[in-house]
Amino acid sequence: MQLKPDQLAAHLKKGLQPLYTLHGDEPLLAVEAADAIRAAARAAGHSEREVHTVAGAHFDWSSLLGAASAMSLFGDAKIVEIRIPSGKPGKDGSVALQRYCERLPEGVLTLVTLPRLDRQQTASAWFGALETAGITLRLEPIERAALPQWLAQRLAAQGQRVAPGEEGQRTLAFFADRVEGNLLAAQQELAKLALLHPAGELGYEQVEAAVLNVARYDVRKLGEAVLAGQVPRVLRMLAGLRAEGEAAVLVHWHLTEDIRALKRCKDALSAGKPLPMALRENRVWGLKERLFERALPRLDEAMLEQLVESAHVCDGLAKGLKHPLWPADPWDGLQRLALLLAGPLAGAPARAGATARLVLQG
């Protein structure tokens, strides 16, 4: 059974399941979920805790199975944690986890923690056994669009709130911009507000004065912002990535991969293929699939050809080459490349040739 993170507290009040699996790459949510499960287990009488960390290919899975059998025999109330930092238990581990799930020890709460898993891992037999035998929680970062609501909920939990209406939305948007991609820091800023101000309504000035700029940006999220036409956010993310010391070559690669995929999908559509097939053949799925569906009608063949050429020029800039119509600094070039794609996607479809003119005018 799968649960969302915000459903865990209500679930734990109803009683414990013998097995919980946490997977994802959001540290704050992972820590909070594990702590909540441990606290509920201790309240239910699980007074001892045993931790097994799977490191490398030489983990002794037989010792875990043997210990589980012994605990079942003597009826000890324990918390057993199985941590797999790589997300890959290996062949022996796969078999062992399936056997473990088939014969869960009595009186034992098992907590399995994993990093973010790909499709192949979540479709594996060992993960399927974990899902069938207990509760699974996927702990992923909060998307930018959902971050203001998440902050509002956290403020409410500590007895605080923003002003109603547009002012409150502006306050939450400012807060979200300052902490995007860094929930651990967001929680620290929320705790700071609880210490600085009493319960009740918080004004924009109070939040602005207290909240630091602790946002951290992911290159993958930059691509999503570009495809969504979120120009101010794109500029903010590029500046943040540059300040964090991200490699310009890596940023260029991600932008170029999206441009090439858009071009291939457009060519496939022109050849008569249906959109779902074109997206599938180019390995576009999830949020990117929805963004491509929105972007492709707004980009004509001439614009995409110019984007491909611009990406080629930008590749040279990242490698130290110069171009008479482009800035010398590779990050300035990346900004132009990102805006060449994000600009037409920010509003109404652009006319053919607009991209080429923007390159010459930039």
CB 238 within 8 A of CB 338: yes
Q: What pLDDT, in 10s, does the model give residues 101-123?
A: 988 888 889 999 999 998 899 99
**Six token digits for residue 355:** 């991209």
133 and 256 in a common domain? no
Structure-model confidence comparison of residues 215 and 17, the more confident one: 17
Can you give the CATH number for the domain in which 202 is found? 1.10.8.60
Residues spanned by the domain of 329: 219-361
Last residue of a domain, one of 121, 138, 155: 138
350 and 230 in a common domain? yes
Q: What pLDDT, in 10s, does the model give residues 262-272?
A: 999 999 999 99
Can you give the CATH number for the domain in which 28 is found? 3.40.50.300
C-alpha closest to that of 180 among 136, 224, 117:
224
53 and 170 in a common domain? no
353 and 234 in a common domain? yes
Q: What pLDDT, in 10s, does the model give residues 232-259?
A: 999 999 998 998 888 999 999 999 999 9
Calpha distance 121→237 (Å, rounded): 30
Last residue of a domain, one of 183, 210, 237: 210
302, amino acid identity:
A
pLDDT of 127 reads 95
Q: Please, which pLDDT band fits residue 71 given cuts at 50, 70 and 90? A: low
How many helices, marked H, and strands, marked E, lie in the chain? 18, 8
170 and 118 in a common domain? no
Structural domains in the chain (count): 3
Can you give the CATH number for the domain in which 281 is found? 1.20.272.10
Calpha distance 265→281 (Å, rounded): 9
196 and 113 in a common domain? no
Strands of the 2-3 sheet, one edge to the other: 2-3, 135-138, 19-23, 108-114, 78-83, 48-53
352 and 229 in a common domain? yes
Mean pLDDT, residues 166-194: 92
Q: Please, which pLDDT band fits residue 62 given cuts at 50, 70 and 90? A: confident
113 and 99 in a common domain? yes
Other Cβ atoms closer than 10 A to 38: 17
pLDDT at 74 over 70: no
Last residue of a domain, one of 210, 245, 265: 210
253 and 197 in a common domain? no
pLDDT of 63 reads 76
151 and 134 in a common domain? no
58 and 36 in a common domain? yes
336 and 248 in a common domain? yes
